[in-house]
A and B are shown apart, each in its own frame.
Chain A
Amino acid sequence: MEREEDQVGAMAQMSKSLKYVAGAIAASLPASAAFAAWELNMTVGVTELSRDIHGLHMLIFWICVLIAVAVFGMMIYSLVKFRHSRGAVAATFDHSTKAEIIWTIIPCAILVGMAIPAAETLIKIEDTRDSQLSIKVTGYQWKWQYEYLDKNVRFFSTLNREHDRARQLKSGVDPFSVPNYLLEVDRPLVVPVGAKVRVLLTSSDVIHAWWVPAFGMKKDAIPGFVNEMWFRADKPGTYRGQCAELCGRDHGFMPVVVEVKPQAEFDAWLQEQQQAGAPAAASAAAAVTVESAAATVAKAE
């Protein structure tokens, strides 16, 4: 009897601790879902191109999985079946022209099957015609400048100050206490939903790369060059990315944040910027001059 009671007690305790564990998991679930922790795969984006690219990625992935099942299956079968320790006697053949021709031709056919959809998507990606809005993106060490061409709106977008404080060496700030840690800026890029936006990329110093995963594309911003890419976001929202090409000390700290707004809201926002912008744009230009002068001085030192 006593032992039974002990057991019951132990079980009650166990179920208690199980409950605690379950509670902890449940409590962490929404948080981890929000932060997409333990993410395993590329997420589907919000543009046609990103969905095409995701589809292509999954297609190639599954083809690779099929090939892997066949090849690894054959390897594992051989390793299990033809073991010296189980008395396997080795055959003596050392080639088979037929087999070799087969496993040269089949992969070629698979490659053609991959290349066709890839080429189709690529052609679509390269078609930057008929855009409704052109934005020039200039990379700086370590911030982005956005210029709405022919709209007289231009501004810099820098890592949010609070985030900048948190990311200092031994800052003592827990990154988990800062929402969207390192992926928040002072002034996001704003674009209208459903519009084909052409992005013109260049740089004022070293090579950067502008990337928003949800839009599916990244491209380098190179001094002396103007690169082109486009996206059309289907859903309003805030989309985050960052510089993808090593650009020096603070490469990890130049995020890209894009707010996709309904057309009317975008128009209102643009107008507001234009009204506030006339003097602001001038001072921004002056700031650039001062900054590049400072950079020259720093370089000379």
Chain B
Amino acid sequence: MSTAHTHSAPHTTGHAHDAHDHHGPEKGWKRWVFATNHKDIGTMYMLFSLLMFFIGGSMAMIIRAELFQPGLQLVDPQFFNSMTTMHALIMIFGAVMPAFVGLANWMIPLQVGAPDMALPRMNNFSFWILPFAFSLLLATLFVPGGAPAGGWTMYPPLSQQNGTSFPMLIFAVHLMGASSIMGAINVVVTIMNMRAPGMSLLKMPLFVWTWLITAYLLVAVMPVLAGAVTMLLTDHYFGTTFFEAAGGGDPVMFQHIFWFFGHPEVYIMILPAFGIVSEIIPTFSRKPLFGYDAMVYATASIAFLSFIVWAHHMFTVGMPLAGQMFFMLATMLISVPTGVKVFNWTATMFKGSISFEPPMLFALSFLFLFTIGGFSGLMLAIVPADFQYHDTYFVVAHFHYVLVPGAVFAIMAGVYYWLPKWTGHMYSIKLAKVHFWVSTIFVNVLFFPQHFLGLAGMPRRIPDYSTQFADWNMVSSIGAFGFGLSQLLFAYIVISAIRGGVKASDKVWDSGTPQGLEWTLSSPPPYHSFELPPEVK
């Protein structure tokens, strides 16, 4: 998203660059296909994520349109199941994770004072796998039998009933996993080796810290997912019976393996969000982050606990009493470090001098609404109550609260915070505030009633429902359409800022107190961020 981006548009011929005496970007398509620059790759990751956000979002619109009123009006139940499955896969692996990797690519070298990521060619590879992975996944919509419809969790035996889409899904997941692992390795190697002199680990910005821990989580669990789906594949084609009861296998084992990946995955999608919010709140409170060390330790504790709580996703499969107790207590324990984070953010604002620029507005929305998601998470941890909540809309409300006004709002806060740094242009603050208000209002209209639906007894993943659920479903659908439409405004604001606008200063947020090396560079930063390492005192 640097200014050179706009210059590439009128470019027509490829032989313009003759001398190799400068380190500017390649001209034309080669700049993107052979990209090794962390900013270019970061930009591609984020634009890809935005595209997937709209594709996954359109699927959500189909889901909410069908659920607008009882009765089947628009789609076949099988297609409905495909929509819920694909919506989840695309939003998780296509929208949220690549957005965070894009932010990592852009910001980690800037924040640790490095010229680029440590492994630039692998960086290129990890990005360019994604378009292939998602083309493969989206192509399943057009194969006989339709797209995967067994849920994004791919539980056997149901997932084995997919038609032609089955091997395509498995291969797409393998590709996404490979991409994530490469991205994670790059982050670890960059942070461990390329920090500016004087930047000890406990002087790193929190966004860098949370990403370091996230990267370790990715390296630890992505291979587990790959193993799980490979076993599904061999069960299907090579006569193994890992998960088939008839052959002595165990369908529940898949769930254990899947959620051993799946729960850390949840934190992979929220820890970098914590990092972004920890950067923004101090800037606009004009006060240093409260309890930096505690924030780092809390992040590490959450990451550790994420490995020992997986079975809370499957309390209803029938576990021994001791197992249920253990997973209940471990899950409840997560609320302690998470609480520490929320308290520290609040204490950062306490006795600060707060202003409400768009990044701060989104960070505040995150703070309030993520906390609501945390409360419903605590309720879900209580096993006996979970026997009622499990697989109802209460769960849908819970994880959308932590993922949409949680992860997605944090990503938007990060984009509004750093976009002027990336492009050199300030976006329209007024439009961004409009985007904030419509998003925050509609996201609540969309997801809050889903708590009520779940408590009243509506199961999730159903295309049609009994008439007592009609009212809140209609409200929720109206919220969904409003939320979906408001995101077009986000795309407009971002694209306008890429194309031009008022020049942003180096510090961008002159009225606030932005801390960190990224603000010492020009806006946009030079193509190779720090040619000489800055000194950190």
Please list the residues of chain A having a beta carbon within 8 angstroms of any beta carbon in chain B.
35-43, 49-50, 52-53, 56-57, 60-61, 64, 67-68, 71-72, 74-75, 78-79, 82-85, 88-96, 99-100, 103-104, 107-108, 111, 114-115, 118-119, 121-123, 125-126, 166-171, 173-176, 180-183, 205-207, 209, 211, 213, 216-220, 222-225, 227-228, 241-253, 299
- A181 partner residues in chain B, CB cutoff 8 A: 70, 466-467
Does B379 contact A60, Cβ atoms closer than 8 Å?
Answer: yes
Among A52, A167, A241: residue with most chain B CB under 10 A: A167
Minimal beta-carbon separation of A194 from chain B (angstroms): 22
Nearest neighbor of A45 in chain B, beta-carbon distance = B388
How many Å lie between the Cα of A103 and that of B343 in the bound state? 8
List residues of B (426-485) whose CB comes within 8 Å of A's CBs: 452, 455-457, 459-468, 470-472
Stretch from B15-23, B198-206, B328-336 contacting the other chain: B328-336
Does B158 contact A78, Cβ atoms closer than 8 Å?
Answer: no
How many Å lie between the Cα of A100 and that of B341 in the bound state? 10
B34 within 8 A of A: no
Closest 10 CB pairs of A and B: A224-B245, A252-B462, A39-B456, A227-B318, A84-B355, A175-B70, A91-B351, A90-B353, A90-B286, A213-B457
- A82 touches which of B246, B288, B344, B353 (Cβ 8 Å): B353
Does A252 contact B368, Cβ atoms closer than 8 Å?
Answer: no
- A167 touches which of B71, B252, B468 (Cβ 8 Å): B71
Does A245 contact B318, Cβ atoms closer than 8 Å?
Answer: no
- A219 partner residues in chain B, CB cutoff 8 A: 316, 318, 387
How many Å lie between the Cα of A175 and that of B466 in the bound state? 8
How many Å lie between the Cα of A123 and that of B322 in the bound state? 10
Does B317 contact A222, Cβ atoms closer than 8 Å?
Answer: yes
State how many residues of chain B have any CB contact under 8 Å with chain A. Answer: 95
How many Å lie between the Cα of A251 and that of B285 in the bound state? 50
Contacts A111-B336, A122-B325, A174-B71; is A64 near B286 (CB within 8 Å)? no
Minimal beta-carbon separation of B253 from chain A (angstroms): 11
Nearest neighbor of B66 in chain A, beta-carbon distance = A169
- As a 0/1 sequence over residues 376 to 398 of chain B, the CB contacts with chain A under 8 angstroms (1 = contact) are 00110011110110111000000
How many Å lie between the Cα of A61 and that of B294 in the bound state? 28
Does A108 contact B336, Cβ atoms closer than 8 Å?
Answer: yes
Does A36 contact B251, Cβ atoms closer than 8 Å?
Answer: no
Minimal beta-carbon separation of A132 from chain B (angstroms): 22
- A217 partner residues in chain B, CB cutoff 8 A: 387-388
Does B392 contact A43, Cβ atoms closer than 8 Å?
Answer: no
Contacts A/B (CB < 8 Å), 9 sampled:
A40-B452, A71-B346, A78-B349, A78-B351, A78-B354, A82-B354, A115-B332, A170-B73, A213-B388
B157 within 8 A of A: yes
Please list the residues of chain B having a beta carbon within 8 angstroms of any beta carbon in chain A.
69-73, 75-78, 81, 149-151, 155, 157-158, 161, 245-246, 249-252, 285-294, 316-318, 321, 324-325, 328-329, 332-333, 335-336, 339-340, 342-344, 346-347, 349-355, 364, 367-368, 371-372, 375, 378-379, 382-385, 387-388, 390-392, 452, 455-457, 459-468, 470-472, 511, 513
Count contacts between A and B, CB distance < 8 Å.
Answer: 297
Does B350 contact A82, Cβ atoms closer than 8 Å?
Answer: yes
Does A228 contact B287, Cβ atoms closer than 8 Å?
Answer: no
Does B355 contact A83, Cβ atoms closer than 8 Å?
Answer: yes
Contacts A88-B353, A95-B290; is A176 near B70 (CB within 8 Å)? yes
How many Å lie between the Cα of A48 and that of B323 in the bound state? 24
How many Å lie between the Cα of A217 and that of B389 in the bound state? 10
Among B70, B290, B467, B472: residue with most chain A CB under 10 A: B467
Does A37 contact B470, Cβ atoms closer than 8 Å?
Answer: yes
- B316 touches which of A115, A206, A220, A249 (Cβ 8 Å): A220
Among A50, A205, A225, A299: residue with most chain B CB under 10 A: A225
- A218 partner residues in chain B, CB cutoff 8 A: 316, 387-388, 390-391
- B371 partner residues in chain A, CB cutoff 8 A: 68, 71-72
Does B72 contact A64, Cβ atoms closer than 8 Å?
Answer: no
- A64 partner residues in chain B, CB cutoff 8 A: 375, 378-379
- B351 touches which of A90, A167, A227 (Cβ 8 Å): A90
- B339 partner residues in chain A, CB cutoff 8 A: 103-104, 107
How many Å lie between the Cα of A108 and that of B332 in the bound state? 9
Does A241 contact B286, Cβ atoms closer than 8 Å?
Answer: no
Nearest neighbor of A228 in chain B, beta-carbon distance = B318
- B285 partner residues in chain A, CB cutoff 8 A: 82, 90
How many Å lie between the Cα of A96 and that of B290 in the bound state? 8
- A176 partner residues in chain B, CB cutoff 8 A: 70, 467, 470
How many Å lie between the Cα of A200 and that of B385 in the bound state? 21
Minimal beta-carbon separation of B155 from chain A (angstroms): 6
Contacts A126-B321, A224-B250; is A251 near B461 (CB within 8 Å)? yes
Does B465 contact A78, Cβ atoms closer than 8 Å?
Answer: no
Does A244 contact B391, Cβ atoms closer than 8 Å?
Answer: yes
Does B384 contact A53, Cβ atoms closer than 8 Å?
Answer: yes
Among A90, A115, A250, A253: residue with most chain B CB under 10 A: A90
- B157 touches which of A91, A206, A213 (Cβ 8 Å): A206
Minimal beta-carbon separation of A115 from chain B (angstroms): 6
Nearest neighbor of B512 in chain A, beta-carbon distance = A84
How many Å lie between the Cα of A67 and that of B354 in the bound state? 24
**A-B contact sample (8 more), CB < 8 A, given A71-B343, A205-B157, A207-B251:** A41-B455, A72-B371, A118-B384, A211-B459, A213-B457, A223-B245, A223-B246, A244-B459
How many Å lie between the Cα of A115 and that of B150 in the bound state? 34
- A56 touches which of B384, B457, B470 (Cβ 8 Å): B384
Minimal beta-carbon separation of B513 from chain A (angstroms): 8
Contacts A35-B468, A218-B387; is A170 near B321 (CB within 8 Å)? no
Does A89 contact B353, Cβ atoms closer than 8 Å?
Answer: yes
- B332 partner residues in chain A, CB cutoff 8 A: 111, 114-115
Does B354 contact A79, Cβ atoms closer than 8 Å?
Answer: yes
How many Å lie between the Cα of A39 and that of B458 in the bound state? 11
- A36 partner residues in chain B, CB cutoff 8 A: 456, 468
Does B392 contact A207, Cβ atoms closer than 8 Å?
Answer: no
Minimal beta-carbon separation of B239 from chain A (angstroms): 15
How many Å lie between the Cα of A176 and that of B461 in the bound state? 21
How many Å lie between the Cα of A174 and that of B204 in the bound state? 61
Does A118 contact B328, Cβ atoms closer than 8 Å?
Answer: yes
Among A43, A85, A170, A211: residue with most chain B CB under 10 A: A211
Minimal beta-carbon separation of B429 from chain A (angstroms): 15
- A170 partner residues in chain B, CB cutoff 8 A: 72-73
- A225 partner residues in chain B, CB cutoff 8 A: 245, 251-252, 318
Does B385 contact A166, Cβ atoms closer than 8 Å?
Answer: no
How many Å lie between the Cα of A41 and that of B387 in the bound state? 15
How many Å lie between the Cα of A215 and that of B189 in the bound state? 54
- A88 partner residues in chain B, CB cutoff 8 A: 352-354
Minimal beta-carbon separation of A123 from chain B (angstroms): 7
Contacts A222-B317, A246-B81; is A39 near B459 (CB within 8 Å)? no
How many Å lie between the Cα of A131 and that of B456 in the bound state? 29
- A169 touches which of B72, B286, B292 (Cβ 8 Å): B72
- B71 partner residues in chain A, CB cutoff 8 A: 166-167, 171, 173-175
Contacts A61-B379, A72-B368; is A243 near B467 (CB within 8 Å)? no
Minimal beta-carbon separation of A297 from chain B (angstroms): 14
- B246 partner residues in chain A, CB cutoff 8 A: 223-224
Among A49, A99, A123, A252: residue with most chain B CB under 10 A: A252
- B290 touches which of A42, A71, A94 (Cβ 8 Å): A94
- B347 partner residues in chain A, CB cutoff 8 A: 96, 99
- A71 touches which of B157, B342, B463 (Cβ 8 Å): B342
How many Å lie between the Cα of A71 and that of B372 in the bound state? 11
